[in-house]
C-alpha cells in the first residue's frame, strides 16, 4: 500500500515555514506499518493542487493533505477539492455549533468567514476539529482515501490522531514495521560503517540499516518488515547486540531518545537532581531538559551566565581568572560547575563556556572552542573540545557532549 503526503502553502516553498507536519505524520503512520512514499510540497494554487492530486491518485491509495484550510483568501484547498471531486456543498450543523461554542468560550465575535468553515463538500466525511476552527475532511474516490487537514501543527496532530487514524486503521491493514535505534556519539559515519561492515552485509533483505548523523551523534536505525513464521523483534535484537558489541563505548543508548531524555531517565531512576551553568549554550541545554514533561523531578534550575559578572556574582567564579586565563578556560568552568551545584544544591551539575561564533574567536581560542565541566559531590571533570560548524551546530554539539560527559560520570 502506498501513501503520500501533500503539504500546501507558498510559505513552505519560500522557506518562511519549515514543514514539521510531514515528519510527524511519517512517524505516526510508520508505527502502523504504513510507509509514506513521497512528501510533495506545493503552492496555494488550484491548478497545482489538482495536478498533484491526480498524480498521487495514480500511484497511491492514501493521500494526506495539510494546509490551505484557514479562513482567509489565500486558503483554497477546500474549494479546490470540491471542484476536483465534482461535489456540491452542505452545511455541517455539528461543526457550526462547535464553532459558535469555540468563539463564545473565547469571548470573540464570530465572523462570516468563520461560519463558512462549517460549509463542507457534500460527499466528504467530517473530521471534527475540537482544537481550532477548520474541520478536517475524509474523501473516498475510486477506492482511494484522501484526507485534508489544516496546517496548524497543533490542530492537525489532534485531528489526525483522534479522528483520522482510527478510520485509517480500520481501512488498511499492513505488515508491521519494527525499528530499533542505536545512538552513538563521537564516531564519524564512515568509521562506524567500516567497523560494522560485516554485520551490515549479513542483514537479510527485510532488515535495513540507515545512518542518521546529526551534530556529533549518529543514530543507526534498523528497520525490519514483519515476516510470517519468524520473530522480527528477536531478529533485530540479534543484530543490535552484534552492533553494540563491536561499537562498545561509542553506544549511548538503544532507544530513540535525545541526550536530555537519556540523562533524565538515568537521574529520575536514581532520584537524583541536576543543575546547569550555561555560558555559550545560552539556555539551550536547559530548554532541552525542560521540553521533557515532568522535568522538575530531576531538573532544579540553571544559571545562564552569559556575562562574566553573572559568572562571578551568581556562581562564585573568581574575577581575576577572567583576566589571567579568560572566561573560556578549564579553571573558570571548574568554578562554574562546582559553584552551580553548591548554590542550587543538586546531586549533579553541568557547566559550559565556549566560543559559539561567528565572532569572538582568537588564535588560541578559535570559534568552536568549548570547555565543558560535570561534577557530583566527589568528582569534577573538565574537558576542552574543538567543535566545527556554525553557531547552532556548536551549541548542539556542546549540548550532546555535556550530557555524554555527565552520563559517564553517573555510570562510573
Show contacts with a second copy in window 332-371 (CB under 8 A): 343-345, 357-359
Range in contact with a second copy (rule: CB under 8 A) among 88-96, 165-173, 183-191, 377-385: 183-191
* Residue choice 8, 36, 82, 410 for contact with a second copy (CB under 8 A): 36
User: Which three three-digit cell numbers place residue 116?
Assistant: 463558512
* Residue choice 12, 149, 332, 401 for contact with a second copy (CB under 8 A): 12
Compare residues 279 and 380 and give the one whose CB is closer to a second copy. Answer: 279
- Of residues 120-159, those binding a second copy (CB under 8 A): 133, 152, 154
The maximal CA–CA distance of the chain, rounded, in angstroms, is: 78
Range in contact with a second copy (rule: CB under 8 A) among 77-85, 139-147, 162-170, 205-213: 205-213
Using alpha carbons, select from 162, 131, 125, 163 the residue that is nearest to residue 145.
125
* Residue choice 248, 271, 294, 363 for contact with a second copy (CB under 8 A): 294
User: Which three three-digit cell numbers place residue 212?
Assistant: 542518521
Compare residues 149 and 192 and give the one whose CB is closer to a second copy. Answer: 192
Q: Using alpha carbons only, what angle is made at residue 178 by residues 176 and 182, rounded to the nearest 5 degrees?
A: 170
Give the dihedral of Cα atoms 75, 76, 79, 80; nearest 10 deg. Answer: -150
What is the distance between the terminal CA atoms of the chain, rounded to a whole angstrom? Answer: 48
- Of residues 61-120, those binding a second copy (CB under 8 A): 70-74, 108-109, 111, 113-114
User: Please, what is the minimum distance in Å from the beta carbon of residue 325 to a second copy?
Assistant: 19
* Residue choice 1, 32, 33, 40 for contact with a second copy (CB under 8 A): 40
* Residue choice 61, 100, 237, 256 for contact with a second copy (CB under 8 A): 256
Residue whose C-alpha cell reads 579553571 in the numeric block:
331
User: Please, what is the minimum distance in Å from the beta carbon of residue 71 to a second copy?
Assistant: 4
- Reading phi first (left if > 0) and then psi (alpha if -120 to 50, else beta), residue 299 is in beta
Q: Are 19 and 6 in contact (CB under 8 A)?
A: no
- Of residues 300-339, those binding a second copy (CB under 8 A): 300-307, 309-310, 313-314
Q: Are 341 and 397 in contact (CB under 8 A)?
A: no
Compare residues 300 and 381 and give the one whose CB is closer to a second copy. Answer: 300
Question: From the CB of residue 84, how many other CB atoms can be counted at a distance below 10 Å?
Answer: 18
- Packing angle of the helix pair 46-59, 77-85 (nearest 10 deg): 60
Compare residues 214 and 324 and give the one whose CB is closer to a second copy. Answer: 214
Determine, following the binding rule CB under 8 A, whether residue 242 of this chain makes contact with a second copy: no
* Residue choice 125, 206, 221, 272 for contact with a second copy (CB under 8 A): 221
Compare residues 210 and 238 and give the one whose CB is closer to a second copy. Answer: 210
Q: How many residues belong to the site for a second copy (CB under 8 A)?
A: 107
Secondary structure of residue 194 in the 3-state scheme: helix
How far is it, in rounded angstroms, from Cα 69 to Cα 114? 11
Compare residues 111 and 233 and give the one whose CB is closer to a second copy. Answer: 111
Compare residues 154 and 162 and give the one whose CB is closer to a second copy. Answer: 154
How far is it, in rounded angstroms, from Cα 17 to Cα 31? 26
Compare residues 70 and 373 and give the one whose CB is closer to a second copy. Answer: 70
| Alpha-helix runs per DSSP H in 145-218 | 153-159, 165-171, 189-195, 197-201
Range in contact with a second copy (rule: CB under 8 A) among 82-90, 297-305, 316-324, 375-383: 297-305
Amino acid at each position: 500500500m502506498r501513501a503520500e503526503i501533500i503539504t500546501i502553502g507558498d510559505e513552505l516553498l519560500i522557506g518562511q515555514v519549515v514543514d514539521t507536519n510531514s515528519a510527524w505524520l511519517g512517524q505516526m503512520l510508520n508505527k502502523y506499518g504504513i510507509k509514506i512514499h513521497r512528501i510533495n510540497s506545493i503552492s496555494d494554487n488550484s491548478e497545482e493542487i489538482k495536478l498533484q492530486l491526480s498524480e498521487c491518485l495514480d500511484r497511491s491509495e492514501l493521500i494526506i493533505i495539510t494546509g490551505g484550510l484557514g479562513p482567509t483568501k489565500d486558503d483554497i484547498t477546500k474549494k479546490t477539492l470540491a471542484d476536483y471531486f465534482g461535489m456540491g456543498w452542505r452545511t455541517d450543523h455539528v461543526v457550526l455549533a462547535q464553532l459558535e461554542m469555540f468563539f463564545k468560550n473565547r469571548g470573540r465575535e464570530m465572523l462570516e468567514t468563520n461560519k463558512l468553515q462549517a460549509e463542507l463538500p457534500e460527499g466528504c466525511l467530517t473530521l471534527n476539529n475540537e482544537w481550532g476552527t477548520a474541520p478536517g475532511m475524509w474523501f473516498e474516490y475510486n477506492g482511494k482515501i484522501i484526507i485534508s487537514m489544516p496546517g496548524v501543527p497543533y490542530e492537525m496532530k489532534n485531528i489526525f490522531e483522534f479522528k483520522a487514524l482510527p478510520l485509517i486503521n480500520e481501512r488498511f491493514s499492513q505488515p508491521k514495521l519494527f525499528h530499533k535505534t542505536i545512538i552513538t556519539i563521537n564516531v564519524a559515519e564512515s568509521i562506524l560503517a567500516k567497523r560494522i561492515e560485516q554485520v551490515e552485509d549479513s542483514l537479510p533483505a527485510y532488515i535495513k540499516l540507515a545512518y542518521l548523523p546529526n551534530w556529533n551523534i549518529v543514530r543507526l536505525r534498523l528497520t525490519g518488515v514483519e515476516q510470517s513464521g519468524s520473530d522480527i523483534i528477536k531478529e533485530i535484537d540479534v543484530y543490535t547486540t552484534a552492533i553494540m558489541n563491536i561499537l562498545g563505548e561509542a553506544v549511548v543508548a538503544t532507544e530513540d531518545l535525545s541526550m536530555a531524555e537519556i540523562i533524565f531517565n538515568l537521574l529520575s531512576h536514581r532520584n537524583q537532581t541536576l543543575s546547569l551553568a550555561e555560558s555559550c549554550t545560552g539556555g539551550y541545554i536547559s530548554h532541552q531538559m525542560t521540553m521533557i514533561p515532568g522535568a522538575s523531578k530531576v531538573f532544579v534550575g540553571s544559571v545562564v551566565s552569559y556575562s562574566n559578572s553573572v559568572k562571578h556574582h551568581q556562581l562564585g567564579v573568581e574575577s581575576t581568572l577572567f583576566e589571567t586565563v579568560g572566561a573560556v578556560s578549564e579553571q573558570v568552568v571548574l568554578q562554574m560547575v562546582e559553584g552551580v551545584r553548591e548554590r542550587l544544591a543538586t546531586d549533579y551539575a553541568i557547566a559550559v563556556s565556549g566560543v559559539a561564533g561567528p565572532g569572538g574567536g582568537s588564535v588560541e581560542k578559535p570559534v568552536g572552542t568549548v570547555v565543558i565541566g560535570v561534577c557530583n559531590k566527589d568528582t569534577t571533570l573538565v574537558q576542552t573540545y574543538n567543535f566545527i560548524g556554525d553557531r547552532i551546530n556548536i551549541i548542539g554539539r556542546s549540548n550532546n557532549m555535556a550530557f555524554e560527559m555527565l552520563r559517564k560520570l553517573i555510570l562510573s
